[in-house]
Amino acid sequence: MSKQNQWVAGINAVSAAIEHDAEHVREVLIEAGAKNPRLAEIEANARRKGIDVRRVAQQALDGVAGGLRHQGAVARYAAARSWSESELVGLVEAAEGRALLLLLDGVQDPHNLGACLRSAAAAGATAVVIPKDKAVQVNATVRKTSAGAADRIPVVTVTNLARTMRELQKLGVWLYGLAGEADSSLYQLDLRGNVGLVMGGEGDGLRRLTRENCDQLVNIPMPGANAEGGVESLNVSVASGVALFEAVRQRQG
């Protein structure tokens, strides 16, 4: 895992970082004079865990937050956990035949990535796989949107997504790509074993090579899509949530 310094902004993001990954929080800055009881709670929790806390002026928070809405709290975070490709094999093997992976093919919007990570963490997914190029990486906005999920789930950054997909197949992972024009339904799949759910980016969906390396393409049935005024497709984070929790439903059944 590689590490880098970055600032995390916002009450929920700072609180989650302290709660779930305190060892990597270097210091917490709280707005001086702020009356929000949640800020006092963050300060107390940070001090209890041995994290340095400073009270600073709002302008100082504005500067380090870099335009993000900080709500009076920011934290200097020295983790930004980035799992390497070489660790993916171990994660799959440790799942003992029940790996649940989310592969994102070029998601550009940090809010979408954050929401995907939140759904993946809630579903108990094994890991989220993202390409190194032409895709948003885990940054401060992603961390804030994920509400702490970026600290709880391995996010594996890979150089070549198609090659990683082939390696996963060799490990016995079945890869299902979500595509609106596919003939088969997500709900016809058996999602109880080693499974990778592959989602396209916001613009063009799955790229050609990504499609070709899926074992099967499936759709999410949308009865309203052809009705007058109906939507044509789901947001990538919503589609990810639907697919992940269909796998959860099957595994609990």
Residues 143, 45 share a domain: no
Task: Please tell me whether residues 106 and 218 are part of one structural domain.
Answer: yes
Q: How far apart are CA 70 and CA 13, in angstroms?
A: 9
Q: Is residue 237 in a domain?
A: yes
Domain identity same for 96 and 53: no
Same-domain pairing of 132 and 189:
yes
Single residue among 31, 47, 77 that ends a domain in this structure = 77
Tell me: pLDDT of 167 over 90: yes
What is the domain-level CATH number for residue 71? Answer: 3.30.1330.30
Position 230 confidence tier, pLDDT thresholds 50, 70, 90: very low
**Residue positions counted in the chain:** 253
Confidence check: pLDDT of 201 > 70: yes
Distance, in Å, from the CA atom of 197 to the CA atom of 250, rounded to the nearest integer, reads 14
- pLDDT, average across residues 166-171: 97
Q: Which residue among 30, 53, 77 closes a domain?
A: 77
pLDDT in tens, 204-228: 889 999 999 999 999 999 887 655 5
- Claim to verify: residue 196 and residue 216 sit in the same structural domain: yes
Q: Is 220 annotated as a binding residue?
A: yes
Q: Does 178 belong to an annotated binding site? A: no
Contacts (Cβ under 8 Å, ≥6 apart) of 163: none
CATH number for position 127: 3.40.1280.10
Query: Does 18 share its domain with 63?
Result: yes
Domain co-membership, 214 together with 100: yes
DSSP assignments along 114-134, one per residue: HHHHHHHHHTT-SEEEEESSS
Question: How many CB atoms are closer than 10 A to CB 41?
Answer: 13
Same domain, 111 and 198: yes
Same domain, residue pair 104 and 66: no
Label residue 205 left, alpha or beta by phi (over 0 means left) and psi (-120 to 50 means alpha): left
- What is the phi/psi pair of residue 176, to 5°? -115, 120
pLDDT at 3 over 50: no
Q: Are residues 107 and 213 in the same domain?
A: yes
Span 51-99, pLDDT tens digits: 999 999 999 999 888 777 899 999 987 755 668 889 999 999 999 999 9
User: Whole-angstrom Cα distance, residue 75 to residue 78?
Assistant: 10
Read off the pLDDT band of 177 (50, 70, 90).
very high
Asked whether residue 1 is assigned to any structural domain, the reply reads no
Same domain, 117 and 210: yes
- Cα–Cα distances (Å) from 24 to 21, 50, 77, 204, 209, in that order, read 6, 11, 6, 37, 37
33-46 per-position pLDDT tens digit: 888 999 999 999 99
Q: Residue 94 is encoded by which pair of tokens?
A: 């440790």
Would you place residue 176 in the very low, low, confident or very high pLDDT band (cuts 50, 70, 90)? very high
Residue 231 predicted with pLDDT over 80: no
196 with 112, same domain: the answer is yes
Q: Where do we find the tokens 């600032």?
A: 7
Number of domains within the chain: 2
| Domain extent for 46 | 6-77
The reported pLDDT for the residue numbered 112 is: 92
State pTM to two decimals: 0.74
